[in-house]
Amino acid sequence: MKAVLVLEDGTYYQGTAFGKKGTAHGEVVFNTCMTGYQEVLTDPSYRGQMVVMTYPLIGNYGFNTEDSESGTPHVRAFIVRELCDYPSNWRSSVTAGTFFDDVMVLSDIDTRHLTRHIREQGSMYAVLSTESDDIEALAQKARELSGEPKELVAEVTRKKPRHIEGKGPHVAVLDFGVKENILRSLQGLGAAVTVLPADTTAEAVKALSPDGILLSNGPGDPRDIPRAIETIKGLIGYKPTLGICLGHQLLGLALGGTIYKLKFGHHGGNHPVKDLTTGRVYITSQNHNYALGEDFSPDITVTHMNLNDNTLEGFVHNKLPLLSVQYHPEAAPGPLDSDYIFHQFYELIKAS
Catalytic: which of 25, 117, 304, 328? Answer: 328
Do residues 37 and 130 share a domain?
yes
Do residues 275 and 253 share a domain?
yes
Spans of the chain below 50 pLDDT:
none
Do residues 223 and 118 share a domain?
no
Among 100, 119, 148, the domain boundary falls at 148
Domain count, the chain: 2
Among 148, 170, 186, the domain boundary falls at 148
**Cβ(194)–Cβ(169) below 8 Å:** no
Do residues 220 and 164 share a domain?
yes
Do residues 29 and 80 share a domain?
yes
Do residues 157 and 284 share a domain?
yes
pTM confidence score: 0.95
Residue 155 host element (H or E): helix 152-156
Among 105, 133, 148, the domain boundary falls at 148
Do residues 168 and 295 share a domain?
yes
Closest CA to 317 of 203, 227, 237: 237
CATH code at position 72: 3.50.30.20
Encode pLDDT of 306-317 as tens digits.
999 999 999 999
Residue 85: predicted pLDDT: 83
Catalytic: which of 8, 27, 69, 330? Answer: 330
Residue 333: predicted pLDDT: 63
Do residues 60 and 9 share a domain?
yes
Residue 297: predicted pLDDT: 79
170 catalytic? Reply is: no
Do residues 18 and 91 share a domain?
yes
Do residues 224 and 294 share a domain?
yes
Do residues 186 and 309 share a domain?
yes
How far apart, in Å, are the Cα atoms of 18 and each of 21, 57, 79, 98, 121? 8, 15, 10, 11, 27
Length of the chain as a residue count:
352
CATH code at position 223: 3.40.50.880
Residue 241: predicted pLDDT: 98
328 catalytic? Reply is: yes
How far apart, in Å, are the Cα atoms of 165 and each of 71, 180, 183, 232, 245? 20, 15, 11, 25, 25
Catalytic: which of 25, 27, 245, 271? Answer: 245
Beta strands, E only, 65-197 = 77-79, 82-83, 104-107, 124-129, 162-164, 170-175, 192-197
**Structural domain for 47, as ranges:** 2-148
Do residues 55 and 202 share a domain?
no
Beta strands, E only, the chain = 2-7, 12-19, 23-31, 49-53, 57-58, 77-79, 82-83, 104-107, 124-129, 162-164, 170-175, 192-197, 212-215, 241-244, 259-275, 281-292, 300-306, 312-317, 322-325
